[in-house]
Amino acid sequence: MPRTLVIDDDPQLQALINAGSGDEFCFVHSDDEALEILSRDHDIDIALVAIDGDNIGGMGLFRRLKGERLRIPRIALTTGTDLAVIRRAMNEGAVDFLTKPVSLDDLQATIDKVYMDCEARRKAWRTESELAAIRREIDVAGDLQQRILPIDFPTRDDFDVFARTTPAREIGGDFYDFFELDPDKLALIVADVSGKGVPAAFFMAVARTLIRATAATQPEPGTCLEQVNKLLYQHNIPGMFVSVFYGILDTKNWTMSYANGGHLPPYLIPGDGGDIVALSGGDGVVLGVQDEIPYEQETISINPGAAIFFYTDGITEAFDINRNQFSDQRLIDYLLENRSLSAHAISDNVFAFINMFTGDAPQSDDITSLVIKRF
Task: Give me the architecture of the 150-374 domain, per CATH.
Answer: 4-Layer Sandwich (3.60)
The answer to whether 366 touches 192, Cβ cutoff 8 Å, is yes
Parallel/antiparallel/unpaired status of strands 242-250 and 255-261:
antiparallel
* Letter string b/e over residues 24-49, b meaning 16 or more CB atoms within 10 A of that residue's CB: ebbbbbbbebbbebbeeeeebbbbbb
The domains of the chain are located at 3-126, 150-374
Single out the residue of 346, 345, 326 nearest to residue 276, CA to CA.
Answer: 346
pLDDT, one tens digit for every residue, the chain (375 residues): 688 888 888 888 888 888 776 668 888 888 888 888 888 877 888 888 888 877 777 887 777 776 555 678 888 888 877 788 888 888 888 888 888 888 888 888 888 888 888 778 778 777 777 777 666 766 666 666 667 788 899 888 999 999 999 888 778 789 999 999 999 999 999 999 987 777 888 888 889 999 999 999 998 999 999 999 999 999 888 889 999 999 999 999 999 999 999 999 999 999 888 899 999 999 999 999 998 889 999 999 999 999 999 999 999 999 999 999 999 999 999 999 999 999 999 999 999 999 999 999 999 889 999 999 999
For the domain made up of 3-126, the CATH class stated in words is: alpha beta
Extended strands (E) in 51-184: 74-78, 94-99, 159-166, 174-182
Predicted TM-score (pTM) above 0.85: no
What are all long-range contacts of 330-337, with beta carbons under 8 Å and residues at least 24 apart? 330/357, 331/267, 332/267, 332/276, 335/267, 335/269, 335/276, 335/309, 336/276
